[in-house]
Structure 1
Amino acid sequence: MFNISQIDSDVTKIEFKVGQSPWREVNLDSKQIEVPNSSDELLLRQYSGPSIVGGELLYRYDNNLETWVYVREPQKERLEVTLSPYATAMFTNQALKHMYNLYFGVGLDSEFSFEFHRALLFKFNIEAKYAKSNNIWADSFFIFGGDVGVGYRFELGKGFLLTPSVTYGVLFHYCIGTLEESLGQKLHLQQMLALNLEAGYKFSSKMIVFVAPKFQFMLDSTRNGFLYGLRAGVGFVL
């Protein structure tokens, strides 16, 4: 049994990790951690709000002293990367229905967070999608996109997460169809601004499942309008 003797007033949460097991939260009322095997190493990290205070602390059981002793502060993981493959579907509003009603596809979302504030996320996203055309200029579209932005993750307790984010990027519409092909205008570029509200559940310290309503504004000289839909997938913390 590992006993925590004192907790600073600004500490809101303490997590521990025994051996290769995932991170778990300490019960601050009991201030005790049950360690099944005293030969395992024990890691602690303290939080003040969403930020880690003082890095990770490593303890090892000393059989001669019959107590846990502080060994060292392990090397900090300053950058944390999460890769999230997902599926997505978006509907167009009336202003874009001359192009298509719906597109669907897959994407890969990359999130980067730093030790100074883990809840603040820097995002990079790529997508590949398909849409059936509503006009005579093209039979269908292949749509490729990429965007960057920022988000903020709120921990709601019991593993549930809520992450609003805003991103900016570009869309490439590749037209499949005889008229666009004959005119030599098969590729069109648009800008986009998107808002996401991602609801997730943390299965472990390394895996998160999520679903995210998405609202997107697409802009260029002839194709301005809104899209709305969902994306859902699984995130893996590297």
Structure 2
Amino acid sequence: MPKITLTCEYCAASFEKWPSAIRYAEANGTSSKFCSRACVGKARSDGSIEAKRKRGSTLVCEACGNGFYRTVSDIKAGRSRFCSEPCRQQGFRLKLIDKSAPRPQNLRGKTITCVVCGDQAYRKKSMIERNIDKTCGDPKCVSAYGRSMWGLEPYSEEEFLKPRPRRRYRTTNFTPLQRKKWLGTECAHCGSNSNLTLDHIIPCCAGGTNVQENAQTLCGRCNNIKAATTDRLLARKQTSGGGCKS
């Protein structure tokens, strides 16, 4: 079926439309008598046609009491209680938001149970993908879970509150000059010459230092195996903090 020639009711220009497009516009309550969206907008501004019907709702903000408009998708997503971000933050301060309430179905996170204290907490999908879904977030629970990964007992209340010396993270790795001078041409374990890296024979977490006698060349695979077996066993014996000594 050929296109139908029409005349724009705003600018009087001729234009063509498929019959199916005309039927679709009429079924959805929109106009097919204008040649472009610009002409439709100008006609609405002039009052020639009625404004597009809104399918959302006008709501009342729970924090400030002002009215505001939300679309259907916003209401389904749970963004229907506050008119703005400042009012949402005010809702937290006034305890208007129940953090234990069920989350909207469209959110892709989940409520997790802390493996240390048993409390429940909500975690976003991005946090779950990064494996940040084991504890409730309390510093004591995070510390206890981290120490359990190394086979260590949790800190007591007194030990947890005691100030600890700052770790010297900057000295735990070899400098670029040291890597350039000391890096060999093959892996000390398997003899591979690809993906080589400079490794501490005694790891820094067990008191190893950045000296040439404590350096060896390993490939990426052997370095990972050593970290998971030898280094972890040595680290479990290190019950107190402190970085590598230079």
TM-score range, shorter chain: under 0.3
Q: Which has the higher helix share?
A: 2
Structure number with greater Rg is 2
Q: Which has the higher strand share?
A: 1
The TM-score, its normalising length taken from structure 1, stands at: 0.19
The TM-score, its normalising length taken from structure 2, stands at: 0.19
Higher relative contact order (CA 8 A, sep 6+): 1
